[in-house]
Amino acid sequence: MYDRMQELTRNDMEQIHNAAMDLLKTTGVAFNDEEALSIFKDKGFRVDGSTVFFEESQVQKALETAPKRFTVHARNPEKNVEIGEDDFVFLPGYGAPFVMDFQGNERQATMEDYDNFCKLVQTSPHINMNGWMMVEPADMPHESVHLDLNLSNILLCDKPFMGSPVSRQGALDGIEMAGILWGGKEKIMDKTVSVSLINSLSPLQFSDEMAGSLIELARHNQACVVASLIMAGGSGPVNFGGVLALQNAEILAGITLAQLVRPGAPVVYGSTSSAMDMKTGALSIGAPELSKNIHLVAQMARFYNLPCRSGGGLTDSLCPDAQAGVESALALSTAVRSGVNFILHSCGILGSYIAMSFEKFIIDEEICGMLNHMLRPVSLTDEGIDLESIKQVGIGGQYLTHPKTFQLCRTEFYMPGLMSRKNTDAWTKEGRKSLDQLAHDKVVQRLASYEKPEIDPDIEKQLTDYVETRKNA
């Protein structure tokens, strides 16, 4: 296969691996959680204070038990997804404190916004999984909001969902609620029903919240995306070769812990590292360095036979304008074509993670659909080529009225749900609306047509009672 982007040789990947092994052995990684340190000690790792040192043989042993693919089960079994090898999923944005409208007006996110993003995911033809904390609701108590987010994920959408790694207790709450949904916690001990994002704290640390969450999730066989987001020139070296080595060390350290807790626990190798803008000191996720990292990280994940995670529709723009479209399409297409399996932030993100946009969700979603269509292979069988039809039309003929055109006209080509292909007269007659205005109209239509997926009333009551009990505890 030919690709003009850098393809790592076996020697290149071994260079990155060896550099990470050197860091893990000589510098180590700090885990700010007592149980994590105890697990490492019990398994024979050298621990000095909160710093854990890794031998290459210990990392390799952990990698041997990590699965190369796994299933995430949805409450609607028809919507189960596979993650790994050639299978991949699109997920919405994550962690934005604000909502931005299509005119660039910013406001604090609310619980109603979160619910509406769940509804958009449920009605999406292209987004395969519900996310986690698409926005951070400012109108809910910080200490218990994860319970409400979990409840919305479960009740408003019947696709697979992400878990709540906000703390060890947050992870346990998510596991308890999933247990209620599946008829008991024991039912999910061998059945992955959530995927949670575990971020390292660069350089070379894991916070107590992340380490504790990882332990509980792995213990209960729930998948963890172990991810490193390095800001090159800030929280990591300015040279990207160094970034690859540093993030590799952090990711492998987290994956090793997961496999020590439960050999075979599903994990995903992840990174959305990018460059620091040297003029402002801010992280740039619209930079081409992000897409370069996506492409290289996918190759390193394959080096270890692991599923891969990266970002998707990412931009530094503060409104769904041409800049947002360019940057998001570049990152999304790079992730899809490079073989990333878990594409987080596929739709909705604006302003370097600061905001979610309903309109941009719809625009990015359309890009996801276009990319899915691009991946569909051309049939090169006798039927797919259909020489007989070409001979029937012959020299100088036309295909518009040919029976084969009528047969395939609605299925052969991608039919956009948002992008306009109208001529000037039709566009003018319909109000000369720009793409963001069309997306705004589509949001209103989608939310108006939303229907809550069915769920057993007894299970819904158990879930709401659990949330209320935990809030009042």
For residues 174-187, b (16+ Cβ closer than 10 Å) or e, as one string?
bbbbbbbbbeeeee
Q: Is pLDDT of 473 > 90?
A: no
Please check whether residue 466 is in contact with residue 131, taking contact to mean a CB–CB distance below 8 angstroms: no
Domains of the chain: 64-375 (3.20.20.480)
- Tell me the per-residue pLDDT of 282-338, one tens digit each, with 9 for 90 and over: 999 999 999 999 999 999 999 999 999 998 999 999 999 999 999 999 999 999 999
Residue 80 falls in which region: left (phi positive, over 0), alpha (psi -120 to 50) or beta? beta
The mean pLDDT of 402-413, rounded to a whole number, is 92
Distance CA 355, CA 125 (A): 23
Helical spans, DSSP H, in 342-456: 358-375, 382-385, 387-393, 403-408, 424-429, 435-449
pLDDT at 102: 82
- The residue to which tokens 């309109």 are assigned: 359
pLDDT tier at 114, thresholds 50, 70, 90: very high
Q: Give how far Cα 293 sits from Cα of 95, 152, 321, Å.
A: 21, 33, 24
Long-range contacts of 138-142 (CB under 8 A, 24+ apart): 138/97, 138/108, 138/109, 138/110, 139/108, 139/110, 139/111, 140/111, 141/471
The mean pLDDT of 109-123, rounded to a whole number, is 98
Q: Is pLDDT of 13 > 80?
A: yes
Distance CA 389, CA 315 (A): 46
Distance CA 335, CA 11 (A): 23
Helix axes 10-26, 56-65, angle to 10 degrees: 120
End-to-end CA distance of the chain: 58
pTM: 0.96
- Tell me the per-residue pLDDT of 60-90, one tens digit each, with 9 for 90 and over: 999 999 999 999 999 999 999 999 999 999 9
pLDDT tier at 1, thresholds 50, 70, 90: low
Counts for the chain of helices (H) and strands (E), in that order: 17, 20
Average pLDDT, the chain: 96
Say how far residue 159 (Cα) sits from the centre of its chain.
Answer: 14
Q: With the C-alpha atoms ordered 145, 149, 150, 155, is the resulting torsion angle positive or negative?
A: positive
Angle at 93 (CA atoms; ends 90, 94), nearest 5 degrees? 120
